[in-house]
Chains A and B, each alone.
Chain A
Amino acid sequence: MRGFEKVHDACGLFGVIDRSGSRFDSDMVVTAMKNMKVRGNGLGGGFAAYGIYPDFKDYYALHVMLETSEVRKDVESFLEKNFDVVNAEEIPTNLEANVFRPPVFWRYFVMPKNDEGDDYVVSKVMEINTKIDGAYVISSGKNMGVFKGVGFPEDIAEFFLLHEYRGYMWIGHSRFPTNTPGWWGGAHPFNILDWSVVHNGEISSYGTNKRYLEMRGYFCTLLTDTEVMAYAVDLLMRKQGLPIEIVAKILAPPMWDQIDRMDEKSKKIYTALRITYAPLLINGPWTIIVARHGEMFGITDRIRLRPITSGEKGDLFFVSSEEAAIRAACGELDRVYTPMGGEPVVGRLYKFEKAERRSQRGEVFA
């Protein structure tokens, strides 16, 4: 059900990337999520997996949730009209899995007609979600997909036969909603194009953030805190092209008394950010993991009211709500690092890392 109430919830988050780009199965992410069972209550679990569709990597992979089988015809005629559909199939599921009233999931590999790009895909996804009753596009990136629903994460993994997929980056989410009935679309991750967001927290600045984003053309239809997060990241990173190091300082800026003590140049930049992006300061307790192709980052609120920890083992980089979950997934680690509030921890493919270095982003945001 899509209510018009803000969703209150707490959650467990986990993400892992193999920075060499090697693909691996869902074992680690599922084990980690299982380890954080108390962070969820079985009313929502989900995963995003990157690099799972190498055969169709140039096509947008639309994962579509269908609440009734009739609605599929509407979706397909809509897709036929706006896209070239190169492949359509039902996402294989295990109906024996312990999940709550599963809908049907289909995936479509599509290419927009007339050489249209990302913005076109976004608008068509929004159109399906708002205009076709009972159909929701739960992910729309290339060579990636989101699998989510109502149940504990390990049950969702079993339902979607997740062990059959191999990706170079996985994120997982276990949900503890306090006031919403189970709705499969309400589970995390939230996705648009190849951006996926998982979130733990409650945003006390929700009203401020929402109304600012509405002014920028984002309409919060799901009315969850996470949606606000996802749109804020989309606006700042995709549309305005700001790097994560700067975005982190917008979402979770340092205190004024810290800024007042900075050197003139840093003070000027941080002040400009706080003045300009004040309505996107995300207040209250939260942690997010945001992933897109090639990188993921985790960040927690400015006074660190929700947990986040990162770890490394060889090429593997982890972000998680709990260190125990990382150790459950991987055993011994080379390095464990717990960031400060507002400090992003970033895991990138090595080839991306080099590109980053070439662009030489400033040390102000180190």
Chain B
Amino acid sequence: MKFLLKKDEMFSFMLPEFLVERRGDRCIKCRVCERQCGFGVHSYDEMSNTMRADEMKCVGCQRCAVMCPTKALIIRPHPSDYRPNANWTREKIQDLKKQAESGGVILTGSGCDKPYRIYWDHIVLNAAQVTNPAIDPLREPMELRTFLGRKHDKLEFAFDGGEIELVTELYPNVQIETPILFSAMSYGAISYNAFKSLAMAASEYGTLFNTGEGGLPKELRKFGKNAVVQCASGRFGVDPEYLNVAAVVEIKIGQGAKPGIGGHLPGEKVTKPISVTRMIPEGTDALSPAPQHDIYSIEDLSTLIYALKEATNYEKPVSVKIAAVHNVAAIASGIARAGADIIAIDGIRGGTGAAPKIIRDNVGIPIELAIASVDERLRREGIRNKVSLIAAGGIRNSADVVKAIALGADAIYIGTPALIAMGCTLCQKCHTGICNWGICTQDPQLSKRLNPEIASKRLVNLLKAWSNEIKEMLGAMGINAIESLRGNREMLRGVGLQEWELEVLGIKGAGE
């Protein structure tokens, strides 16, 4: 803590966010907390043989509390508060003070934490009773296999001399064994070990991970057939091999956490391996423009889609990822007509490695409403089968997955859940480059805390657990294949929703 100020130096008026409580009867002064905290909260004072804590630096990531061998630490929101005020909350006052002291845009990490209505929690699922037998997934087959890509309206066959031939040549489709994919998280935003863990887990389980916009390191290209490779506004790491080793090529237009905002990986984070992977000089800022500067209109998007298809010999589905914004349905319809095979839609609660807090918390719409209105719009236009829909941003458990698919998604992207599985505690300090869990950092001392063998096991466990739960929910509904859930809004009912919300979601109220 600073008490000595230079002339004209500002004294900070901020309150600490977290209270660090150390139970003296348990603390053995082993200094594990000191070594574990990348933010420098804990220190040891040799003179007095005591452990100290600088609470102003604490982000509440709980690393020290988890690692403390005697469980002597309790980290909790700081009780010191301003006079209660429904309008001026502690967060609003603190943010304002922070800006008064810095004059800057407040940055943050992870997803919007504001209490916009979480529709998942107002939707309940159906189950079979009497007229329809429930199916036990432990005894009967239960199928989650999903195909992503454009589908034909119909198939043509030729019958010749007792032989049957499929005449129609299918569009490229990618097979995944569960409708759950890992969301875009770039090498640069997350550590090499975290990135590799995602690749390993996707490969082991038979699903896809997404490289984000930071390229795919050469030695990880063996995971290409489980990779969605992004081509974003900065074009980092895009080369012919990168496109061709992938399962899916994704054009990133927007991100749920920061619709309309580009990216900025500060030069300090652009280490040697990152500079090689991104194909930019070491130590330079990696700036992703807000728009793709060759896409100012829908026909420009179409040009890029077909350029990527040309580059990959029409062998891979091309995905377009957009943030869920107000007229998302019309935009999605345009994207489908522009030639995309997959549309990924990222809701307001989607995560980020760094975004202006004001954008993260105020721009975009919830994914539940977005996916429902896009699915309905595409059906009304008779083009739903031309694209697969991936819902992203705000999925927290397997029930959310089931609800998203019943609303109309083909599959879902998970970002935050995957990070949590690896150890993330949503401290929202991804943008600082310090992550005590070794996930969102390029500091070798911190990132080596994440062992890819173990972290990928955690991710596989997550996929397995959710898949098993999805099977249980399907079986209860009397359904034994995931495709029979897709767009099946009969399986959903709303609780505590208004008429317009039920209308947009296309579901009935409970009891109806």
Contact = CB atoms under 8 A, between A and B. Distances in A.
Interface of A: 6, 8-10, 178, 202, 204-208, 210-212, 214-216, 240, 242-243, 246, 255-257, 268-269, 272-279, 281, 283-285, 302-303, 305, 359-365
A285 B154 contact: no
Contact of B480 (A9, A216, A303): A303
Contact of A279 (B382, B486, B491): B486
Contact of A208 (B141, B155, B160, B485): B485
B484 A272 contact: no
Given A205-B484, A206-B488, A275-B151, A284 B161 contact: no
B170 A283 contact: no
A360 B479 CA distance: 35
Contacts of B170: 272, 275-276
A204 B478 contact: yes
Contacts of A268: 166
B164 A204 contact: no
Given A285-B478, A362-B164, A240 B483 contact: no
Q: Shortest 6 CB-CB distances between A and B: which pairs?
A: A362-B164, A207-B490, A205-B484, A207-B488, A283-B484, A278-B483
B474 to A, nearest CB: 9
Interface string B464-488: 0000000000000111110111111
Interface stretch (B71-79, B132-140, B226-234): B132-140
Given A205-B479, A272-B166, A257 B141 contact: yes
Contact of A359 (B159, B384, B478): B159
Contacts of B160: 360
Contacts of A207: 406, 487-491
A362 B159 contact: yes
B436 interface: no
Contact of A302 (B157, B480, B483, B485): B480
Nearest to B375: A211
Nearest to B381: A215
A205 B133 contact: no
B128 A204 contact: yes
Contacts of B154: 240, 276
Nearest to A178: B131
A10 B130 CA distance: 10
Interface string B150-170: 011011010111111110101
Contacts of B163: 362
A357 to B, nearest CB: 10
B443 interface: no
Contacts of B130: 178
A275 B491 CA distance: 22
A6 B490 contact: yes
A215 B162 contact: no
A303 B143 CA distance: 13
Contacts of A210: 490
Interface in B159-187: 159-166, 168, 170, 173
B326 interface: no
B133 A256 contact: no
A279 B487 contact: yes
A208 B132 contact: no
B122 interface: no
Interface in B257-288: none
B484 A208 contact: yes
A214 B135 contact: no
A9 B132 CA distance: 9
Given A257-B141, A362-B163, A204 B132 contact: yes
Nearest to B491: A207
Contact of B490 (A206, A243, A256): A206
A275 B173 CA distance: 9
A204 B491 CA distance: 9
A363 B161 CA distance: 10
A205 B168 CA distance: 26
A10 B162 contact: no
A105 B132 CA distance: 34
Given A202-B131, A204-B128, A256-B145, 13 more contacts: A205-B479, A205-B485, A208-B487, A215-B382, A215-B384, A216-B382, A242-B155, A257-B141, A284-B478, A303-B135, A303-B480, A360-B162, A363-B162
Given A255-B143, A360-B162, A361-B164, A211 B478 contact: no
Which of the listed residues B128, B155, B165, B479 has the most CB atoms from chain A within 10 Å of its own CB?
Answer: B155
Which of the listed residues A9, A275, A279, A361 has the most CB atoms from chain B within 10 Å of its own CB?
Answer: A275
B449 interface: no
A230 B380 CA distance: 21
Given A207-B488, A256-B145, A303-B135, A215 B379 contact: yes
A269 B379 contact: no
B119 interface: no
Contacts of A273: 155
Contacts of B164: 269, 361-365
Nearest to A362: B164
A99 B487 CA distance: 40
B508 to A, nearest CB: 10
Contacts of B205: none
B166 A202 contact: no
Contacts of A305: 133
A303 B151 contact: no
Given A246-B157, A279-B487, A272 B168 contact: yes
